C-alpha cells in the first residue's frame, strides 16, 4: 500500500518535524490567509456587489481563472464557504462561456468588473475549478445551481475531454492519445506545471463513470511526463514543453521561469497525497541542489533548463523559495530541511507583483503544515 495521505489519512507536517509548534504553525497559516484576503494594503481578494468576489492579479489588474480557482481551493481548505461561493459566482457569471466553441469552458482573463479580456480558456483553471468544486461538494454538500458543486465539477471535466464531441469546432483540453493536458485546447504541446496527477487520481473516482478510466491513465501519463520534461541534471522544467518533453519557445527565450516554479510544488503534493512514484523526488533533489549550490537565496534569474542564467531577474523569487520548499514533501536530499527552514522565515511578498508569489506561498504553507487536505 502507498504511504500517501489518501491511504493513511496522515498528512506529513514538515514544520513540526523541525520542532515548530502547532500554535506557531496555526498562527502563521491564519495570519497569511488573513493578509491575503483581508489586509487593506496587501490583499489580493476583493468583493464586488452583495454576493461576488475576485482574486486580482495585481501585476496585470485582472482576474484570471488561475487565481479564481486558486482562491476557491484556498477558501475550501480554510473552510470559508462564504468566500468560496463569492468567487464561484463571479466565475460562473463573468468567465463561463455559454456558447460557441468554448462553451463549457471559462475565459482565462476578465477585467475586475467582469468584462472578458480573452475568450479562450487556460486549462490549469479548469482543473483547479473542478477539484475545488468536488471538495466543496464533500465538505459542505451540494446546494442549488450553481452551487451544486459536484455536478458543476463533473460538467467541467466532461467538456475538458469531450469538447470536440459536444460543440462544433471545439477542442478538448487533454490530448486523447497521450492523456496529456495541453497548454490551451488548440495546441499540440503542454505546460509541465499544469500536470497534477494527484488531482487526476481523484477525478478517476469522482468524474462521470465513462471517463474514470481516462483519468486513471492521465495520472500515470502525467507522472511519466514530469520525468521527461524536467532536466536530468538540474531538475528544471520549461514553462512550455513539447509532448516529448523538450522545451518549447513561446513568448520569450526563458525556459525555467514563472510557470515552471509550480512543478516542484506539484510533485510535493502528489507525494504527500499518493506517493505512487518516489523517483519524482529525485527531480526536486536536483532542483534544490542547483539553487543551494549555484545561487544566493532570493537572488534568482531566468534560466534555461540547464541552469544557464539569462541577464534578467526572476519576476517571482518568493515563489521559487516557496515551491522548492513544498517539493521537500517528495525530496530526500541533503538540502530538504534547509529549504523548509528558509521558507518558514520568509515573509509574504509585498507590492505590485505579490499575487502570484503569495498564491504559491500559501499553497506551499498549507502543504508543509499538513493542512492541504483531500475531501472526497
Distance CA 152, CA 83 (A): 18
Residues 233, 224: Cα–Cα separation, whole Å: 17
Per-residue model confidence (pLDDT) at position 187? 97
3-state SS record for 125-152: HHHHHHHHHHHHHHHHCCCCCCCCHHHH
* pLDDT tens, the chain, 376 aa long: 468 999 999 999 999 999 999 999 999 999 999 999 999 999 999 999 999 999 999 999 999 999 999 999 999 999 999 999 999 999 999 999 999 999 999 999 999 999 999 999 999 999 999 999 999 999 999 999 999 999 999 999 999 999 999 999 999 999 999 999 999 999 999 999 999 999 999 999 999 999 999 999 999 999 999 999 999 999 999 999 999 999 999 989 999 999 999 999 999 999 999 999 999 999 999 999 999 999 999 999 999 999 999 999 999 999 999 999 999 999 999 999 999 999 999 999 999 999 999 999 999 999 999 999 999 9
Q: The C-alpha cell of 247 is what? A: 522545451
- Residues with a catalytic annotation lie at 66, 259
User: What's the pLDDT score for residue 142?
Assistant: 98
Q: How far apart are CA 243 and CA 229, in angstroms?
A: 9
Dihedral (Cα; 160, 189, 374, 131), 10-degree rounding:
-30
- Give 297-310 as a DSSP string: TTB-EEE-TT-PEE
Q: How far is the C-alpha of 313 from the C-alpha of 258, rounded, in Å?
A: 11
CA distance 23 to 131: 29
Per residue in 356-370, pLDDT (tens digit) is 999 999 999 999 999
What pLDDT score does 240 carry? 98
Q: Which CATH architecture has domain 5-368?
A: Alpha/alpha barrel (1.50)
Indicate whether this model's pTM tops 0.95.
Answer: yes
- Contact (Cβ atoms closer than 8 angstroms) between residue 324 and residue 337: no
| pLDDT tens digit sequence for 135-177 | 999 999 999 999 999 999 999 999 999 999 999 999 999 999 9
Are residues 356 and 258 in contact, defined by beta-carbon separation less than 8 angstroms? yes
Q: What is the pLDDT of residues 45-97, one digit of tens each?
A: 999 999 999 999 999 999 999 999 999 999 999 999 999 999 999 999 999 99
Amino acid at each position: 500500500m502507498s504511504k500517501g495521505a489518501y491511504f493513511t489519512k496522515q498528512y506529513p507536517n514538515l514544520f513540526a518535524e523541525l520542532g515548530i509548534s502547532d500554535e506557531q504553525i496555526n498562527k502563521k497559516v491564519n495570519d497569511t490567509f488573513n493578509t491575503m484576503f483581508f489586509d487593506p494594503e496587501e490583499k489580493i481578494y476583493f468583493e464586488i456587489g452583495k454576493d461576488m468576489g475576485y482574486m486580482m492579479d495585481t501585476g496585470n489588474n485582472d482576474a484570471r481563472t488561475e487565481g479564481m480557482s486558486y482562491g476557491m481551493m484556498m477558501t475550501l481548505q480554510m473552510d470559508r464557504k462564504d468566500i468560496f461561493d463569492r468567487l464561484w459566482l463571479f466565475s460562473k457569471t463573468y468567465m463561463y462561456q455559454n456558447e460557441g466553441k468554448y462553451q463549457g469552458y471559462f475565459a482565462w482573463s476578465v477585467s475586475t468588473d467582469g468584462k472578458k479580456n480573452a475568450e479562450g480558456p487556460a486549462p490549469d483553471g479548469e482543473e483547479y475549478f473542478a477539484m475545488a468544486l468536488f471538495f466543496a461538494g464533500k465538505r459542505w454538500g451540494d446546494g442549488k445551481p450553481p452551487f451544486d458543486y459536484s455536478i458543476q465539477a463533473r460538467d467541467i471535466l466532461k467538456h475538458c475531454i469531450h469538447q470536440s464531441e459536444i460543440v462544433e469546432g471545439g477542442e478538448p483540453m487533454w490530448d486523447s492519445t497521450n492523456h496529456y493536458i495541453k497548454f490551451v485546447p488548440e495546441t499540440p504541446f503542454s505546460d509541465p506545471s499544469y500536470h497534477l496527477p494527484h488531482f487526476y487520481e481523484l477525478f478517476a473516482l469522482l468524474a462521470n463513470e465513462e471517463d474514470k478510466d481516462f483519468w486513471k491513465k492521465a495520472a500515470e501519463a502525467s507522472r511519466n511526463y514530469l520525468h521527461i520534461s524536467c532536466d536530468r541534471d538540474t531538475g528544471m522544467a520549461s514553462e512550455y514543453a513539447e509532448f516529448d518533453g523538450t522545451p518549447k519557445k513561446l513568448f520569450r527565450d526563458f525556459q525555467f521561469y514563472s510557470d515552471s516554479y509550480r512543478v516542484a510544488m506539484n510533485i510535493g503534493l502528489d507525494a504527500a497525497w499518493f506517493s505512487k512514484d518516489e523517483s519524482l523526488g529525485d527531480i526536486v533533489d536536483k532542483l534544490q541542489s542547483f539553487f543551494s549550490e549555484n545561487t544566493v537565496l532570493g537572488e534568482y534569474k531566468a534560466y534555461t533548463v540547464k541552469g544557464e542564467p539569462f541577464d534578467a531577474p526572476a519576476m517571482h523569487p518568493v515563489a521559487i523559495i516557496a515551491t522548492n520548499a513544498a517539493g521537500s514533501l517528495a525530496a530526500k536530499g541533503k538540502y530538504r530541511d534547509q529549504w523548509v527552514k528558509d521558507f518558514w522565515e520568509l515573509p509574504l511578498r509585498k507590492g505590485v507583483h505579490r499575487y502570484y508569489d503569495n498564491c504559491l506561498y500559501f499553497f506551499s504553507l498549507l502543504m508543509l503544515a499538513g493542512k492541504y487536505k483531500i475531501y472526497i
